[in-house]
Each structure stands twice: as C-alpha cells, then as structure tokens.
C-alpha cells in the first residue's frame, strides 16, 4: 500500500522494465534498500524486444562500442547469478550473428563494414554453418554476439525483485520528481509522495513525461513491429538488408519497423507486411511457415541512439537510466552495475562520458 509522505528507503527506481528491474536488483545486491515504482502499460519495450545481443551490428563508436561489447560479455555471469538466486535459467544464444548478403552489391557493402573481430564467410561456408541460409552469397560473421530470451529474463528479474526484502514494489505512475540537495521526492498519480536519497528514472519511452526529469525530454518513442513464425529453421540470429530474424525455442521472430508515431503501440497491416517480407528475404523457408503472432513495442530513443546514464549535473539526487534506444536488452545488466556504482559512490567500471544526460 502507498502511504502519502512516506520515506522510501535509500533509492527510488521509477519504471519496472528491464532497465528499472536490473538497476533495482543491482542496488539490492549492494545492500541498498529500493522502492521500485512502476505501472504496466501497452507498448513497454522490454517484453516486446527481439532480445538480440548485437553490439557488433547495432554499432556505436568509441567507448560506447566498448560499453556494448562489455554489456554483451556481462551476460553469462549475470544469468548465472539470476539462476542461482531464482532457479530460473534464462536461454542465452552466443553462437554469433550473421549479416547475410543476398546480392553482389550487398557483398561489397558488408565487406566494408566488418569489424576486426568479425569474419567474412563465403557462400559455401555460410551454407555449411546455417543450411537455411543457403541462398545467401556470403555473410559477415560476428562471433559471441547472439540473443537472450528477454521474456524469460524479465520473469527471472521480476522473481528476484519480488523475493528480495530490500526491494519494495509499488504499483503506481510517477507524475513528477522534485530533486532537493540531499534527497529527491517522487509524486504519483494516486497522490502519494515517496522521498529517498536518490531517484533513478528508468521509465522507458514515457520518461520525458515525468515533470522535473527535465533532461529526459530528449527521449522519444520509436515503434517497432515484430512477427513470429511457428518454425525454427535457424540456429543463428541473422540480419538481412531490411531486417533480422531471431531463433527463440520453437519459434522464429522477425523484425522490425522503426516508426515515429508517438505512443501508438498497435500493429498495422503495412508494417507487418514489411517485416514479414524482410524476414522471408533472409530465410525463405519462413514464407511457408505459419505466422504465429505479431506485436509492437516502443523503443525509448535519444537523438544519438545512446542511453542517458548518470546524475543530473544540477540536481545529483536525480539519476537518469533511460533512452537505451535499440540496445536496452543488451545493456540492462551493465546499466544496473553502473547505476549501483554511482549510487554507492564506487569507482565506475566503465567510462560513461558518452552517455552524459546533459549532452543534448
Ligand atoms: C520491437 C523492438 C525490438 C527490440 N529489439 C531489441 C533487441 O533485439 N536488443 C536490444 O538490446 N534491445 C532491443 N529493443 C530495445 C529494448 O527493448 C529497450 O531499449 C529496452 O527494453 C528499454 O527498457 P526500459 O526498461 O527502459 O523501458 P520499458 O521496457 O518500456 O519499461 C519502462 C517501464 O516503465 C513504466 N513506466 C513508464 N512511465 C512510468 C511512470 N511515469 N511511472 C511508473 N512507471 C512508468 C512502463 O510502464 C514500463 O513498465 C527493442 C525494442 C523494440 C520495441
């Protein structure tokens, strides 16, 4: 139950998507008491995502790229930790990602973009590695990239956060944050006021609507539509010229659009047509498979597609952990670590300068 005017432990986390859950879990692990305030709403990005861990493909430059690689490589130990605490084993695919060339022009383009850690596979090597892509003319292969089942990941984090005494969960919508010198208050739709030493805003695509989180106004929603097929012809995640396909258990997910349509998280006939065509271009056998589902979610995007991580320089009791754009699943565990470093005033394990919340 929410109590008006309540002191809410050391830290309030606003938003219970993958970022808020990972931050709350990391803080609790460092013995920090947390109040996690969140409200479910249509279009949440975390359950909608394809779950790719693709820093070699969804690429940033400089230390942001290194952050992406470190985020990917944090996954195995993070999932071991979750399995140990919750008994939930989250499926992780680290077989590598293929960027498939379908045309001669595609070969040229892909050969130019490959990283030193990636390798070119000719058509024969591609066919041997992934027979369902035997029509491909070659592919860039990025070992160690892959995918996680983000729906099971959410379930594991939910279980951890619900079972941990240090985390109190509140179902409510935060309408405003009021940072003061040594504390910050979150006001909610139900009329409650929660005050803590720090407030971390991790409210996905909606974060810019919270009054007082002034820097988060740079975050906006970008809709992505996805389809799934009741077939699993692939072992590897594969990108094509217009989309990607992701194997997940008995299904294959195909994505995705990138649309600027505000907070509308519905699917459209034209969007799904595009996504299906892109998926079937990569993996032609999907054209004869049954399409089992279709959905959409809202990515929280920033102008440079990098997250905002760190305190408001004018109000350090307010911390931003938002705007993860296309890579929020990838970055969730490492974001949790870094925000816990900031809150506990521990040395930062990564350079966050490219993610300064006041850079826009
Ligand atoms: C179609 C699609 C495909 C994607 N594929 C990938 C991928 O393959 N790999 C990858 O790394 N990333 C991917 N992403 C991006 C990734 O999903 C996001 O970056 C990430 O999930 C963002 O997490 P979040 O916790 O910030 O936001 P969300 O998951 O949206 O969670 C925010 C939460 O905060 C709650 N909330 C909002 N406002 C308030 C408020 N005022 N008060 C209380 N609660 C509030 C919301 O209801 C929600 O529960 C994809 C996204 C989409 C849409």
The model's pTM is: 0.97
For residues 48-66, give the mean pLDDT.
Answer: 93
Confidence (pLDDT) at 7: 59
Ligand 1 atom with the shortest distance to the CA of 244: 8
Nearest CA to ligand 1 atom 18: 328
Counting ligand 1 atoms within 8 A of each CB, the residue from 40, 42, 43, 46 with the most, and so the one to mutate, is 46
pLDDT > 70 in the chain, percent: 98
- Could you write out the DSSP letters of every residue in 189-243? TTS-EEEESEEEE--GGGGGGSBT-GGGGG-EEEEEEEEEES----SSEEE-SS-
Per-residue model confidence as pLDDT tens digits over 60-85: 888 899 999 999 999 999 999 999 99
Q: What is the DSSP secondary structure assignment for residue 289, as one 8-state letter?
A: S
Confidence (pLDDT) at 5: 63
Per-residue model confidence as pLDDT tens digits over 158-212: 999 999 999 999 999 999 999 999 999 999 999 999 999 999 999 999 999 999 9
Residue 325 in this model has a pLDDT that exceeds 60: yes
Q: 176: number of CA atoms within 13 Å, CB side?
A: 9
Between 351 and 3, residue with greater pLDDT: 351
Per-residue model confidence as pLDDT tens digits over 246-256: 999 999 999 99
- Contact criterion met (CB below 8 Å) for 160 and 182: no
128 CA to middle of ligand 1, Å? 36
Burial of 176 (0-12, 13-18, 19+ CB in 10 A): middle
Give the least confident one: 6-20, 36-50, 219-233, 312-326. 6-20
Where does the pLDDT of residue 2 fall: very low under 50, low under 70, confident under 90, or very high at 90 and above? very low
Ligand 1 atom with the shortest distance to the CA of 37: 43
Ligand 1 atom with the shortest distance to the CA of 327: 11
| Residue 48: C-alpha distances to residues 73, 141, 169, 331 (Å) | 23, 26, 22, 16
Confidence (pLDDT) at 3: 46
Site residues for ligand 1, CB cut-off 6 Å:
14-20, 37-41, 44-46, 48-52, 173-174, 202-206, 210, 224, 226, 255-256, 297-300, 322, 324-330
Where does the pLDDT of residue 308 fall: very low under 50, low under 70, confident under 90, or very high at 90 and above? very high
Ligand 1 atom with the shortest distance to the CA of 147: 8
Per-residue model confidence as pLDDT tens digits over 106-163: 999 999 887 889 999 999 999 999 999 999 999 999 999 999 999 999 999 999 999 9
Can you list the domains of the chain with their CATH numbers? 6-74+151-218+304-355 (3.50.50.60), 97-143 (no CATH), 220-301 (3.30.9.10)
Angle at 345 between CA 215 and CA 72, to 5 degrees: 70
Confidence (pLDDT) at 59: 85
52 CA to middle of ligand 1, Å? 14
pLDDT > 90 in the chain, percent: 94
Where does the pLDDT of residue 8 fall: very low under 50, low under 70, confident under 90, or very high at 90 and above? low
Ligand 1 atom with the shortest distance to the CA of 207: 38
Average pLDDT value over all residues in the chain: 96
Between 185 and 6, residue with greater pLDDT: 185
Counting ligand 1 atoms within 8 A of each CB, the residue from 64, 326, 327 with the most, and so the one to mutate, is 326
Residue 4 in this model has a pLDDT that exceeds 80: no
Nearest CA to ligand 1 atom 37: 203
9 CA to middle of ligand 1, Å? 25
């Amino acid at each position: 139950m929410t109590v008006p005017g309540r002191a809410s432990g050391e830290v309030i986390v606003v938003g219970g998507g993958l970022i808020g859950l990972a931050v709350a879990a990391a803080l609790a692990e460092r013995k920090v008491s947390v109040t996690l305030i969140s409200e479910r709403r249509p279009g949440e990005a975390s359950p909608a995502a394809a779950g790719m861990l693709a820093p070699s493909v969804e690429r940033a430059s400089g230390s942001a790229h290194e952050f992406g690689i470190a985020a990917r490589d944090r996954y195995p130990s993070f999932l071991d930790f979750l399995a140990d605490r919750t008994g939930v084993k989250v499926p992780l695919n680290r077989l590598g990602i293929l960027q498939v060339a379908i045309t001669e022009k595609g070969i040229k383009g892909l050969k130019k973009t490959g990283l030193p850690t990636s390798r070119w596979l000719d058509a024969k090597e591609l066919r041997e590695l992934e027979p369902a892509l035997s029509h491909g003319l070659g592919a860039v292969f990025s070992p160690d990239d892959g995918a996680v089942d983000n729906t099971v990941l959410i379930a594991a984090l939910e279980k951890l956060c619900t079972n941990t005494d240090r985390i109190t969960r509140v179902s409510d919508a935060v309408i405003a944050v009021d940072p003061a010198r040594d504390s910050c208050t979150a006001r909610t739709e139900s009329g409650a006021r929660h005050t803590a030493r720090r407030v971390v805003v991790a409210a996905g695509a909606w974060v810019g609507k919270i009054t007082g989180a002034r820097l988060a106004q740079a975050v906006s929603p970008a809709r992505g539509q996805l389809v799934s097929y009741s077939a699993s012809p692939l072992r590897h995640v594969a990108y094509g010229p217009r989309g990607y396909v992701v194997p997940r258990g008995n299904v294959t997910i195909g994505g995705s659009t990138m649309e600027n349509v505000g907070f509308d998280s519905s699917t459209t006939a034209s969007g799904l047509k595009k996504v299906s065509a892109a998926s079937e271009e990569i993996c032609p056998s999907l054209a004869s498979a049954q399409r089992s589902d279709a959905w959409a979610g809202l990515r929280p995007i920033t102008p440079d597609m990098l997250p905002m991580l760190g305190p408001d320089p004018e109000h350090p009791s307010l911390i931003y952990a938002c705007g993860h754009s296309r890579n929020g699943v990838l970055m969730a565990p490492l974001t949790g670590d870094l925000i816990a470093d900031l809150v506990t005033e521990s040395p930062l394990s990564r350079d966050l300068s490219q993610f300064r919340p006041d850079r826009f």
